[in-house]
Protein backbone atom coordinates (compact mmCIF):
# COMPACT_ATOMS: atom_id res chain seq x y z
CA UNK A 1 0.00 0.00 0.00
CA UNK A 2 1.11 3.53 -0.71
CA UNK A 3 2.57 4.87 2.56
CA UNK A 4 0.86 8.23 1.98
CA UNK A 5 -2.53 6.51 1.88
CA UNK A 6 -1.86 4.11 4.77
CA UNK A 7 -3.25 6.50 7.39
CA UNK A 8 -6.52 7.16 5.60
CA UNK A 9 -9.67 5.66 7.08
CA UNK A 10 -11.97 3.38 5.17
CA UNK A 11 -15.57 4.54 4.73
CA UNK A 12 -16.64 2.10 7.45
CA UNK A 13 -13.99 3.36 9.89
CA UNK A 14 -15.01 6.94 9.16
CA UNK A 15 -18.73 6.16 9.62
CA UNK A 16 -17.99 4.50 12.97
CA UNK A 17 -15.88 7.44 14.11
CA UNK A 18 -18.56 9.97 13.18
CA UNK A 19 -21.10 7.96 15.14
CA UNK A 20 -18.86 8.00 18.20
CA UNK A 21 -18.07 11.70 17.81
CA UNK A 22 -21.68 12.94 17.62
CA UNK A 23 -21.74 13.91 21.30
CA UNK A 24 -18.42 15.72 21.02
CA UNK A 25 -19.68 17.46 17.90
CA UNK A 26 -22.84 18.68 19.62
CA UNK A 27 -20.87 19.86 22.68
CA UNK A 28 -18.54 21.77 20.37
CA UNK A 29 -21.51 23.32 18.57
CA UNK A 30 -23.01 24.46 21.86
CA UNK A 31 -19.72 26.04 22.92
CA UNK A 32 -19.21 27.91 19.63
CA UNK A 33 -22.87 28.99 19.37
CA UNK A 34 -22.79 30.39 22.92
CA UNK A 35 -19.72 32.44 22.05
CA UNK A 36 -21.20 33.54 18.71
CA UNK A 37 -24.35 34.83 20.41
CA UNK A 38 -22.39 36.70 23.06
CA UNK A 39 -20.49 39.97 22.75
CA UNK A 40 -16.88 38.99 23.39
CA UNK A 41 -13.79 39.25 21.22
CA UNK A 42 -14.19 35.81 19.71
CA UNK A 43 -17.91 36.24 19.06
CA UNK A 44 -17.50 37.66 15.57
CA UNK A 45 -15.14 34.87 14.52
CA UNK A 46 -17.45 32.18 15.92
CA UNK A 47 -20.52 33.77 14.32
CA UNK A 48 -18.87 34.08 10.92
CA UNK A 49 -17.45 30.56 11.15
CA UNK A 50 -20.90 29.07 11.86
CA UNK A 51 -22.58 31.12 9.15
CA UNK A 52 -20.00 29.98 6.61
CA UNK A 53 -20.90 26.37 7.38
CA UNK A 54 -24.58 27.30 7.07
CA UNK A 55 -24.11 29.00 3.68
CA UNK A 56 -20.56 29.56 2.52
CA UNK A 57 -21.53 31.50 -0.59
CA UNK A 58 -23.62 34.06 1.31
CA UNK A 59 -21.30 34.16 4.34
CA UNK A 60 -17.66 33.62 3.32
CA UNK A 61 -15.19 33.12 6.17
CA UNK A 62 -11.49 33.97 6.36
CA UNK A 63 -9.93 30.95 8.05
CA UNK A 64 -7.21 33.18 9.52
CA UNK A 65 -9.86 34.30 12.00
CA UNK A 66 -9.49 30.97 13.78
CA UNK A 67 -6.06 32.18 14.94
CA UNK A 68 -7.81 34.74 17.15
CA UNK A 69 -9.64 32.11 19.20
CA UNK A 70 -8.44 30.57 22.44
CA UNK A 71 -7.41 26.94 22.21
CA UNK A 72 -10.76 25.61 23.51
CA UNK A 73 -12.81 27.45 20.88
CA UNK A 74 -10.28 26.59 18.18
CA UNK A 75 -10.56 22.87 18.98
CA UNK A 76 -14.36 23.17 19.07
CA UNK A 77 -14.35 24.71 15.58
CA UNK A 78 -12.10 21.95 14.24
CA UNK A 79 -14.40 19.35 15.83
CA UNK A 80 -17.38 20.95 14.09
CA UNK A 81 -15.57 21.03 10.75
CA UNK A 82 -14.64 17.36 11.12
CA UNK A 83 -18.33 16.51 10.80
CA UNK A 84 -19.88 19.38 8.87
CA UNK A 85 -17.26 19.73 6.15
CA UNK A 86 -17.51 16.12 5.02
CA UNK A 87 -19.66 15.06 2.09
CA UNK A 88 -23.27 14.35 3.05
CA UNK A 89 -23.25 15.25 6.75
CA UNK A 90 -25.98 13.56 8.79
CA UNK A 91 -27.57 16.94 9.52
CA UNK A 92 -27.14 20.47 8.24
CA UNK A 93 -25.50 22.65 10.87
CA UNK A 94 -28.76 24.40 11.82
CA UNK A 95 -30.60 21.09 12.19
CA UNK A 96 -28.67 19.89 15.25
CA UNK A 97 -31.02 21.81 17.54
CA UNK A 98 -34.80 22.12 17.64
CA UNK A 99 -34.45 25.90 17.55
CA UNK A 100 -31.58 25.88 15.05
CA UNK A 101 -33.35 28.09 12.53
CA UNK A 102 -33.97 30.68 15.25
CA UNK A 103 -30.33 30.54 16.36
CA UNK A 104 -29.06 31.04 12.84
CA UNK A 105 -31.56 33.85 12.19
CA UNK A 106 -30.01 35.66 15.19
CA UNK A 107 -26.51 35.02 13.82
CA UNK A 108 -27.53 36.34 10.39
CA UNK A 109 -29.12 39.44 11.91
CA UNK A 110 -25.95 40.10 13.92
CA UNK A 111 -23.80 39.73 10.81
CA UNK A 112 -26.09 42.00 8.77
CA UNK A 113 -25.91 44.64 11.49
CA UNK A 114 -22.11 44.40 11.62
CA UNK A 115 -21.90 44.65 7.82
CA UNK A 116 -23.96 47.87 7.87
CA UNK A 117 -21.50 49.37 10.35
CA UNK A 118 -18.52 48.90 8.05
For the stretch 29-68, pLDDT in tens is 999 999 999 988 899 999 999 999 999 999 999 999 999 9
Q: Residue 3: inside a domain, yes or no?
A: no
Q: Residue 40: inside a domain, yes or no?
A: yes
DSSP H helical ranges for the chain: 11-37, 43-54, 71-84, 100-116
The count of domains in the chain is 1
Q: pTM of the entire structure?
A: 0.81
Q: Residue 4: inside a domain, yes or no?
A: no
Of residues 14 and 29, more confidence is placed in 29
Q: CA-CA distance, 14 to 37, in Å (whole number)?
A: 31
Q: Residue 46: inside a domain, yes or no?
A: yes
Q: Residue 6: inside a domain, yes or no?
A: no
- Residue 60 structural domain: 13-116
Q: Residue 99: inside a domain, yes or no?
A: yes
Q: CA-CA distance, 11 to 58, in Å (whole number)?
A: 31
pLDDT in tens, 59-114: 999 999 999 999 999 999 999 998 888 777 888 999 999 999 999 999 999 998 88
Q: Residue 1: inside a domain, yes or no?
A: no
* Local confidence band at 20 (pLDDT 50, 70, 90 cut-offs): very low
Amino acid sequence: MNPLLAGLMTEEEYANRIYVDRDDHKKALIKVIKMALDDYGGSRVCRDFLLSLYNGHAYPFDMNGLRNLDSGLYVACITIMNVDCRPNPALEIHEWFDNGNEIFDKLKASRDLADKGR
